[in-house]
């Protein structure tokens, strides 16, 4: 490893070392191969740049090009576990395509969202925004949807924006219902998430479509406590279900606790199916049957769509082709 100089090399350093003008260096460094420079000059410049470890300064370049090489990632709340596979997919793809990811949090209140907008978009820190937030009805989102800045709504649709990247959540709901029906269950229940979440409501719609409207529904926050309380209500009801579809893994852990407390056995007394597969599912009691969604792929697709917009392609909705899949473990069984 060469010793690193105190100050990173500038274009001017490369130019003087190579005995040419900065503009020439700039041209060979990021011009296409067809820029006319004498081959030996080109070689000399390339070699010098490499030797000095030259990298263009992002500020200088950005100022000139009105481009940052950064993408903003607006997540709902760092308080809730960020859906890490999505972030990972997005991060990896962005990095691979030469972009860096800037974190922002949508803290709920409009004032703060306004602030995030200002800091990122308005100060010119990013080229585009990945919005995983999107409480429906936030006026700020309408601005984004209108296309002020390249943006995509990730895992949430903003109706009419034409910038939505999402999964087949409706199909996940159908799949869950079909799984239960195939096992002979007749009293199904849905332990759903907050209905204002787009994914949650599409999943619900899919589930109800297949399962019919006799399904018992309880909705709660996507937390252990939410799952615990909703499940307690569900089994305390008049028509106790024999199979329940739970909105996420946190809820499922809480739901399992509620069932334990109610003295109900899984899957003997009640089958539990969890949305989103996770390593933890395998180690719960009993190991949870789950629906696996293409989360990493979603992050990747979101970034690709965003960069597409940045490069001038027209915005469009994209729904991932990869279908939801059941990962069978031991928490669901034949009705008896």
Partner DNA sequence: CTGAAAGCGCTTACAG
Residues that bind DNA (CB under 7 A): 10-12, 19-24, 26-27, 29-30, 35-38, 41-42, 56-57, 59-61, 63-66
Part of the chain binding a second copy (CB under 8 A), chosen from 65-73, 167-175, 207-215, 311-319:
65-73
Q: What six digits make up the tokens of 283?
A: 């180690």
Total site size for a second copy, rule CB under 8 A: 59
| Helix locations, the chain, DSSP H | 11-18, 22-30, 39-52, 58-65, 84-96, 110-117, 139-145, 169-182, 198-211, 224-236, 249-261, 295-310
* CA–CA separation, 225 and 252 (whole Å): 10
DSSP category for residue 12: H
Q: Which is nearer to DNA, 26 or 240 (CB)?
A: 26
Closer residue to DNA, CB minimum distance, 15 or 215: 15
| Residue 156 interacts with, from a second copy, DNA, none (CB under 5-8 Å by kind) | none
Nearby residues of 92 by Cβ (< 8 Å), 6 or more positions away: 299, 300
Only segment of 28-36, 51-59, 186-194, 232-240 that touches a second copy (CB under 8 A): 51-59
- Does 220 bind a second copy (CB under 8 A)? Our answer is no
- Residue found under tokens 């011009």: 31
What distance in Å separates the CA atoms of residue 208 and residue 193, rounded to the nearest whole number? 14
Question: Which residues within the stretch 99-158 sit at the binding site for a second copy (CB under 8 A)?
Answer: 100-105, 118-120, 122-125, 139, 143, 148
Beta bridge partners, 129, equal 72, 151
Among 22, 181, 264, 280, binds a second copy (CB under 8 A): 280
Which of 11, 20, 73, 177 touches a second copy (CB under 8 A)? 73
The vertex-282 CA angle with 281 and 284, nearest 5°, equals 65
Q: Which of a second copy, DNA, none does residue 79 bind (CB under 5 to 8 Å by kind)? A: a second copy
What residue has token string 């769509």? 305
Q: Quick check: 297 binds a second copy (CB under 8 A)?
A: no
Q: Is 55 in the site for a second copy (CB under 8 A)?
A: yes
Q: 241, 218 in Cβ contact below 8 A? A: no
Least distance (Å) between residue 93 CB and a second copy: 12
- What DSSP letter does each residue of 178-196 carry, written as one string? HHHHHTT--SEEEEE--TT
- Is 95 near a second copy (CB under 8 A)? yes
Which CB atom, from 14 or from 177, has the smaller least distance to DNA? 14
**Strands 271-275 vs 100-105: parallel, antiparallel or unpaired:** unpaired
Max CA separation in the chain (angstroms): 86
Q: Residues in the site for a second copy, rule: CB under 8 A?
A: 1, 4, 6, 8, 53, 55-60, 62-63, 68-70, 73, 78-79, 81-82, 84, 87-88, 91-92, 95, 100-105, 118-120, 122-125, 139, 143, 148, 223-225, 228, 250, 253-254, 256-257, 260, 279-280, 282-285
């Amino acid at each position: 490893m060469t010793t690193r100089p105190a100050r990173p090399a500038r274009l001017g350093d490369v130019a003087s070392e190579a005995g040419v003008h900065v503009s020439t260096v700039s041209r060979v460094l990021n011009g296409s191969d067809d820029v006319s420079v004498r081959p030996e000059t080109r070689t000399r410049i390339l070699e010098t740049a490499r030797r000095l470890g030259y990298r263009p300064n992002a500020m200088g370049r950005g100022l000139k090009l009105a481009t940052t090489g950064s993408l903003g990632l607006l997540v709902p709340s760092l308080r809730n576990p960020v859906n890490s596979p999505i972030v990972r997919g997005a991060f990896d793809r962005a990095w691979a395509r030469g972009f860096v990811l800037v974190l922002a949090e949508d803290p709920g209140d409009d004032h703060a969202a306004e602030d995030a907008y200002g800091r990122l978009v308005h100060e010119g820190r990013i080229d585009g925004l990945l919005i995983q937030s999107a409480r429906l009805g936030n006026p700020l989102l309408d601005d984004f949807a209108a296309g002020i800045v390249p943006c995509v709504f990730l895992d949430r649709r903003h109706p009419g924006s034409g910038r939505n990247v999402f999964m087949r959540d409706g199909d996940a709901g159908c799949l869950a219902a079909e799984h239960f029906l195939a096992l002979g269950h007749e009293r199904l229940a849905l332990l759903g998430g907050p209905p204002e979440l787009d994914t949650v409501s599409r999943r619900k719609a899919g589930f109800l479509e297949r399962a019919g409207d006799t399904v018992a529904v309880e909705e709660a926050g996507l937390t252990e406590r939410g799952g615990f309380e909703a499940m307690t209500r569900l089994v305390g009801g008049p028509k106790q279900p024999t199979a329940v579809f739970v909105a996420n893994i946190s809820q499922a852990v809480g739901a399992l606790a509620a069932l334990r407390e109610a003295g109900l056995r899984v899957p003997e007394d009640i089958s539990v199916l969890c949305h989103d597969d996770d390593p933890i599912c395998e180690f719960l009691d009993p190991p949870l049957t789950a629906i696996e969604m293409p989360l990493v792929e979603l992050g990747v697709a979101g970034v690709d769509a965003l960069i597409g917009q940045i490069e001038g392609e027209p915005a469009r909705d994209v729904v991932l082709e990869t279908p939801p899949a059941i990962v069978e473990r031991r928490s669901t069984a034949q009705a008896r």
